[in-house]
Amino acid sequence: MTTPRIEFELKPAARPLAAAEREAVLANPGFGRYFTDHMVTIQWTEGRGWHDAQLQPYAPLQMDPANMTLHYAQSIFEGLKAYRQPDDSVAVFRPDANARRFQRSARRLAMPELPVETFIEACDLLVRQDKEWVPSEGEASLYLRPFMFASEVGLGVRPADQYTFMVIASPAGSYFTGGVQPVSVWLSEEYVRASPGGTGEAKCAGNYAASLVAQAEAAAQGCDQVVWLDAVERRYIEEMGGMNLYFVYGEGENARIVTPELTGTLLPGITRDSLLRIAADMGYATEEARITTDEWRQGNADGSITEVFACGTAAVITPVGEAKSARGEWRVGDGGAGEITMKLREALLAVQTGQAEDAHGWMHPL
């Protein structure tokens, strides 16, 4: 049975933000601080399915205190970006991949799956309506945040029978305030992010709530970000708070580019996946493997690991300059941004901003 196409009701804002104010925001958007004029909402009800799809003015939600999400956290989200292209059009990077991951997250949280085409259409509608909000400078973009939460009211612990799907959008400059500066990381041995059988590979709100205490510990250790280790042996490197990790072994054309393999406890990042392919296109050997903290420390000491970087939608590619754990600290390479890290970063951004050929058909034009 094919899903009937959902019709969106369009209710544009009577008073969008004045152009001068919007331009002032776009001149220095930061990350996640400002939101565009509109949002998309779609409701789901048991027995009825998806209904009441609307594009409407961005506005606060009214919520019952017994809304199930507030108590039991049936809440998932996505993050993807729309980029201004050289001809002034706008294109979204791999929305189909985000739509499919959103479905997998929904399954894990016992929530209904939004059809891929509806997810993409909701993003397209919002970006089209708020096109003026897509920055045109450098690597700046419009960050899209699709999300879904339980909207049933009640305190019984079970999957809700009503959900709300939404998309909001926020102009994005650099995720880290320092721009492309190497970050320092704290290897968390006390706290774990995800254990086998848990929700580690779902993009659900609870994973982020559970990570905050470790992020605070990283900050107390003088580090920018936390690196998660596996929950069982606490020695395999998994990922960062909102990014996947890559390790560069060797130098130049002979470099090997390795990322922790997907074990079910880390998020299958779309940037991670894209870089595996871009790195291979550039002629590098790539590998998905398990890497221990000892291998990292040893690889830095003997020079076999030359660069480490983090990657994700919000932060693009960010070099890792220093690592620290309860058992010591070490500098990665010369502590600066590595050559291959920056080459990959440039290559990915060139595809996203339309400066390079889209060999894999990743850009979704509006």
> Which residues of this chain interact with ligand COI, rule CB under 6 A?
79, 242, 312-314
Task: Report the 10 Å Cβ neighbour count for 343.
Answer: 16
Do the beta carbons of residue 269 and residue 243 sit within 8 Å?
A: yes
Q: How far is the CB of 7 from ligand PLP (least distance, A)?
A: 30
Pattern 222-251, ligand PLP, x by CB under 6 A: -----------------x--xxx-------
- The residue number with the shortest CB distance to ligand COI is 79
Give the largest Cα separation in the chain, rounded. Answer: 63
Asked if 271 is part of the footprint of ligand PLP (rule: CB under 6 A), the reply reads yes
Q: Which does 239 bind (CB under 5 to 8 A by kind): ligand COI, ligand PLP, none?
A: ligand PLP
Q: Which stretch binds ligand PLP (CB under 6 A): 41-49, 123-131, 152-160, 268-276?
A: 268-276
Closer Cβ to ligand COI, 102 or 296, answer by number:
102
Do the beta carbons of residue 31 and residue 142 sit within 8 Å?
A: no
Closer Cβ to ligand COI, 31 or 58, answer by number:
31
Closer Cβ to ligand COI, 164 or 170, answer by number:
170
Q: Which residues contact 238 (CB under 8 A, 6 or more apart)?
A: 193, 194, 200, 227, 228, 229, 230, 260, 263, 265, 266
Among 164, 313, 318, 325, binds ligand PLP (CB under 6 A): 313
Asked if 81 is part of the footprint of ligand PLP (rule: CB under 6 A), the reply reads no
Sign (positive/negative) of CA torsion 129, 170, 208, 195? Answer: positive
Asked if 173 is part of the footprint of ligand PLP (rule: CB under 6 A), the reply reads no
Do the beta carbons of residue 124 and residue 363 sit within 8 Å?
A: no
Task: Report the 10 Å Cβ neighbour count for 186.
Answer: 24
Asked if 267 is part of the footprint of ligand PLP (rule: CB under 6 A), the reply reads yes
Spatial distance between the Cα atoms of 363 and 343, rounded to a whole number of angstroms: 20
Asked if 272 is part of the footprint of ligand PLP (rule: CB under 6 A), the reply reads yes
Closer Cβ to ligand COI, 305 or 351, answer by number:
351
Instruction: Give the pair of three-digit tokens for residue 336.
Output: 């600066």
Phi, psi of 171 (to 5 degrees): -65, 140
By CB under 6 A, name the binding residues for ligand PLP. 79, 239, 242-244, 267, 269-272, 312-313
